Amino acid sequence: MRRGPSLRVTVYSLLYCLGDDKGKPYVLPSVRAAEKAIVTSNLDKEYAGITGVPAFAKAAAVLAYGSSSEAIKGDRVAITQSISGTGALRIGGEFLARFYPTKKIFIPTPSWANHNAVFKDSGLEVVKYRYYNKDTIGLDFEGMVADIKAAPEGSIVLLHACAHNPTGIDPSEEQWRQISDVMKEKKHYPFFDMAYQGFASGDTNKDAFPIRHFQSQGHQFCLAQSFAKNMVQFPRPFLHVYRVPR
């Protein structure tokens, strides 16, 4: 049986903004409080190292995978910093282009405009799968599943974890379960992009459902995690590598 790399990679960045009524960035009170706490904590300004600040990386992993995550408890997530979510996608793309046997990545139609260029430039071949049904203004779930099923075994499949950009349409939890089953059946490699955790439902745990469900189903995967919007911050990116022995 062919196996993908025994790694889960989470690439994450942080900060950015949502607009207020005047279109100005709205900084969440929690972010302001965190900024104050940082300023008053007299940080020693020690060099962070190439992979970033370990405590910060760990906190990001807990936000994505949940505090009860066996993979975190088992220290099976490795993390490094990247330049925002875009940099995270690029590092993840290059990592897969270098080490993963299949070079095809399937992305939804439509997808965030930069996905195509970022992955192409990483050395991957970008292919599209159906996602949006303009007639129903909803998810083309049948088309999506059919295209994922039809993709060559072991393909890389990009999945927007929540608040799909640009449609804002996400699969339901039941649909995510079915997507997970198909991905497993086809031995595909999921590459999650989570740029809006908390923005789809207002609950960071609920929005992380696909990540946590895929984790519980034993998938190996890559996750680009951006905090540009939900933390209203500028790029302070990280890359997490999650090792899952089988």
Binding region for ligand PLP (CB under 6 A) out of 23-31, 48-56, 79-87, 98-106: 79-87
Q: How far is the CB of 83 from ligand PLP (least distance, A)?
A: 8
- In terms of C-beta density within 10 A (0-12 exposed, 13-18 middle, 19 or more buried), how is residue 186 classed? middle
Residue 220 or 233: the one with the smaller Cβ distance to ligand PLP is 233
- In terms of C-beta density within 10 A (0-12 exposed, 13-18 middle, 19 or more buried), how is residue 106 classed? buried
- Residue 155's contacts (CB-CB under 8 Å, 6 or more residues apart) are 102, 104, 105, 106, 127, 186, 188, 189
- Residue 46's contacts (CB-CB under 8 Å, 6 or more residues apart) are none
Look at residues 157, 89, 95, 153 and name the one whose alpha carbon lies nearest to residue 128.
157
Can 140 be counted among the known catalytic residues?
A: no
Q: Find the catalytic residue in 140, 147, 170, 193.
A: 193
x/- mask, ligand PLP, residues 161-190, rule CB under 6 A, reads: ----x-------------------------
Does residue 228 touch ligand PLP according to CB under 6 A?
yes
Does residue 16 touch ligand PLP according to CB under 6 A?
yes
Q: End-to-end alpha-carbon separation of the chain, Å? A: 12
Binding region for ligand PLP (CB under 6 A) out of 20-28, 37-45, 78-86, 168-176: 78-86
Q: Which residues make up the interface to ligand PLP (CB under 6 A)? A: 13, 16, 84-86, 112, 160, 165, 193, 195, 226, 228
Q: Give the active site residues.
A: 112, 193, 229
